């Protein structure tokens, strides 16, 4: 019995030592990755004439990393033209505006063409509008020109639970709607005014950039999405195709050399592949600390979600049952 107990104690000590060295090794690897990222931070290849490819995908928030990427591409002497790959359902209206403004500044200095890889809806389409030309695949989804505000109404649930939220505020429209009580007619009118004004800006941008007006503009601005083929007929995109067609336009219309390579440029965090919290989460999971890994991954998600605020210019299929 004593012999077995000694063996078990030795195994526990060995297991603790192995866990310690595994954690130490993973953190050393993270340090090396971060150091290499800093050392070669300019990251994307910037030597030799090239067409820079930028990807705008997922939820658009106008984050600083993407804006910095666009600025780096604009300042790079080796970049002769830019291919903006769009695959996004949209995001915040202000975030899409920030990306649009940055891309327009880029397009003022370097020929820029947008390629709709799969989806350019709402804020994603605002991004595509910044380019001089829009190329879309036949079956890509384009459009969803509109703005919305969504918020939950928990008043019925709170009544059922017997919970009442008290508040003191400077005016009836402060922090309205709040989700804890039915939206008043005055609050709803105020929100509708904000939505209408933002929509007018979006619709005007489409009309200006795509030379649409009157019934033609109204037809594409009712919030629906279109296939690439439909969008081409409606004037929302210029050409159907992929990267080859986009590059061919640059070569023909902007007199670019036909042998320029297309090179991907990525934001700082994309070059490292993971955020700081995600890296720590993977290290913890590798070391066997599953609870800690889950907490760190949740922190990474909260960090991303904390950047989102304001009106949405985003498309998603309705989940309501009629």
Is residue 272 within 8 A of residue 168, CB to CB? The reply is: no
144 is catalytic: no
Helix H segments across the chain? 2-39, 64-75, 93-107, 123-129, 155-161, 185-210, 214-220, 228-234, 243-253, 268-272, 276-286, 290-305
122 is catalytic: yes
Is residue 149 within 8 A of residue 195, CB to CB? The reply is: yes
User: Which residues have CB under 8 Å from 148's CB, separation 6+?
Assistant: 195, 311, 312, 314
Spatial distance between the Cα atoms of 152 and 26, rounded to a whole number of angstroms: 42
Burial class (CB in 10 A: 0-12, 13-18, 19+), 304: middle
Catalytic residue among 122, 136, 221, 278: 122
Closest among 131, 143, 198 to 315, alpha carbons compared = 143
Spatial distance between the Cα atoms of 119 and 140, rounded to a whole number of angstroms: 6
Catalytic residue among 17, 164, 174, 252: 174
By annotation, the residues acting in catalysis are 122, 174
């Amino acid at each position: 019995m004593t012999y077995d107990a000694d063996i078990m104690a030795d195994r526990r000590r060995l297991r603790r030592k192995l866990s310690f060295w595994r954690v130490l090794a993973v953190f050393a690897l993270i340090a090396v990755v971060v150091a290499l990222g800093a050392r070669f931070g300019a990251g994307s290849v910037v030597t030799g004439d090239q067409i820079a490819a930028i990807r705008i995908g997922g939820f658009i928030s106008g984050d600083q990393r993407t804006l910095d990427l666009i600025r780096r591409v604009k300042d790079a002497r080796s970049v002769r033209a830019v291919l903006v790959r769009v695959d996004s359902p949209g995001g915040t209206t202000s975030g899409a505006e920030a990306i649009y403004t940055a891309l327009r500044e880029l397009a003022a200095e370097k020929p820029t063409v947008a390629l709709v890889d799969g989806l350019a809806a709402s804020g994603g389409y605002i991004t595509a509008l910044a380019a001089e030309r829009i190329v879309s695949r036949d079956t890509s989804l384009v459009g969803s020109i509109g703005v919305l505000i969504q918020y939950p109404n928990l008043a019925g649930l709170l009544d059922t639970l017997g919970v009442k939220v008290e508040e003191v505020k400077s005016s009836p429209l402060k922090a309205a709607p709040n989700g804890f009580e039915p939206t008043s007619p005055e609050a709803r009118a105020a929100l509708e005014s904000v939505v209408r004004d933002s929509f007018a800006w979006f619709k005007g941008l489409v009309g200006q950039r795509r030379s649409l007006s009157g019934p033609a503009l109204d037809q594409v601005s009712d919030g629906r999405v279109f296939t690439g083929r439909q969008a081409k007929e409606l004037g929302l995109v210029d050409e159907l195709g992929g990267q080859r067609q986009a590059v061919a336009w640059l070569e023909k219309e902007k007199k670019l050399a036909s042998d320029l390579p297309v090179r991907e440029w990525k934001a700082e965090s994309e070059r490292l592949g993971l955020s700081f919290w995600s890296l720590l989460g993977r290290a913890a999971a590798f070391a066997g600390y599953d609870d800690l890994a889950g907490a760190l991954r949740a922190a990474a998600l909260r960090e991303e979600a904390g950047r989102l605020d304001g009106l949405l210019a985003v498309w998603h299929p309705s989940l309501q049952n009629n």
